[in-house]
């Protein structure tokens, strides 16, 4: 992997997707990371990116939608969240038509990836924006002669007005592993689940439609192919201990992720797997928020 030249959000190589209806997304080639999404008819970016985020090859931008592959978290032998977010992806195509704007990027094995994970693979990320929705789809193909297993997640940082006034709908009754309680597994008794401070949980086998609800607006989050969901907020200590966060960022973001974490995906030679996350801005019944 090459060392990262100093870059910023403007100079790091990226694609700007603009649908005919005005919906917009920005995708960086570093990590194939979506780092901005504005639904049609809105000026509000629904993705959070820290002012201290780093840009450039080898960096994962603190915010947007990092891709965790071929390992979620620190649960295996690889670096935290795998290498996809630290790799430079190639643009396959970029199109705009009546259905919206789409970019497709790809990543294949290199000497860098094989040194950590000795398999040939092809990963493709499709990003589509139109109307109120952003759709991100990760497809992994096994191009090796032996089977492999991986875990993965799409790790969106959603921008919110006050993280600790949000809640998540749809998780009630599911089991979760709580990283803040020594990795113990519990069953969720609440629905909705309020975000009330630092939280770091993998919810297993959840329903495919969840919602991140703020007092003034809602994001509908649908996943396909990803059985699990991850809920993360770093809390005060989490932002203070990471140089690419600014103190106070914990109020501005909630991660509600689509993951294949609990059971690794097994792929035979020639086989393919796809996981999708569809994020839709839902109009608020309560009207525009009062200024903070």
Residues interacting with ligand TA6, by CB under 6 A?
A: 73, 80-81, 155, 179, 200, 230, 232, 242, 255, 257
Q: Which is nearer to ligand TA6, 19 or 89 (CB)?
A: 89
Q: Which is nearer to ligand TA6, 26 or 155 (CB)?
A: 155
Q: Which is nearer to ligand TA6, 23 or 65 (CB)?
A: 65
Q: Which residue is nearest to ligand TA6 (CB)?
A: 232
Question: Nearest distance from residue 271's CB to ligand TA6, in Å?
Answer: 26
Q: How far is CA 242 from CA 125, 234, 247, in A?
A: 27, 10, 9
CA distance 291 to 95: 37
Comparing C-alpha atoms, which of 68, 58, 50 is closest to residue 9? 50
CA distance 187 to 56: 40
Tokens, residue 94: 């970029």
Question: Nearest distance from residue 230's CB to ligand TA6, in Å?
Answer: 5
Query: Which residues are marked as active site?
Result: 155, 257
Query: Are the C-beta atoms of residues 253 and 48 closer than 8 Å to each other?
Result: yes
Question: Nearest distance from residue 81's CB to ligand TA6, in Å?
Answer: 5
Q: Which is nearer to ligand TA6, 24 or 54 (CB)?
A: 54
């Amino acid at each position: 992997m090459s060392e990262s030249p100093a870059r910023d959000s403007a100079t790091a190589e990226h694609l700007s997707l603009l649908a005919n209806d005005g919906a917009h997304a920005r995708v960086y080639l570093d990590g194939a990371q979506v780092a901005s999404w504005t639904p049609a008819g809105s000026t509000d970016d629904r993705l959070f990116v820290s002012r201290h985020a780093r840009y450039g090859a080898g960096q994962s931008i603190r915010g947007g939608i990092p891709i965790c592959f071929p390992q979620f978290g620190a649960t295996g032998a690889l670096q935290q969240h795998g290498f996809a977010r630290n790799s430079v992806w190639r643009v396959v195509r970029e199109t705009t038509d009546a259905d919206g704007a789409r970019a497709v990027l790809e990543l294949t094995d290199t000497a860098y990836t094989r040194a950590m994970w000795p398999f040939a693979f092809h990963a493709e990320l499709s990003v589509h924006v139109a109307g109120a929705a952003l759709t991100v789809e990760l497809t992994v193909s096994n191009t090796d002669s032996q089977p492999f297993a991986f875990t993965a997640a799409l790790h969106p940082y959603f921008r919110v007005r006050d993280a600790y006034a949000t809640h998540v709908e749809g998780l009630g009754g599911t089991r979760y592993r709580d990283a803040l309680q020594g990795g113990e597994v519990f069953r969720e008794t609440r629905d909705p689940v309020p975000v009330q401070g630092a939280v770091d949980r993998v919810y297993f086998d959840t329903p495919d439609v969840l919602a991140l609800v703020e007092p003034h607006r809602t994001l509908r989050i649908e996943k396909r192919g990803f059985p699990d969901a991850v809920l993360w907020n770093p809390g005060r200590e989490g932002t203070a201990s990471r140089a690419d966060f600014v103190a106070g960022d914990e109020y501005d973001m909630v991660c509600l992720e689509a993951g294949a974490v609990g059971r690794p995906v097994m792929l035979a030679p020639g086989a393919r797997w796809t996981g999708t996350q569809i994020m839709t801005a839902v109009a608020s019944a309560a009207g525009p928020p009062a200024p903070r």
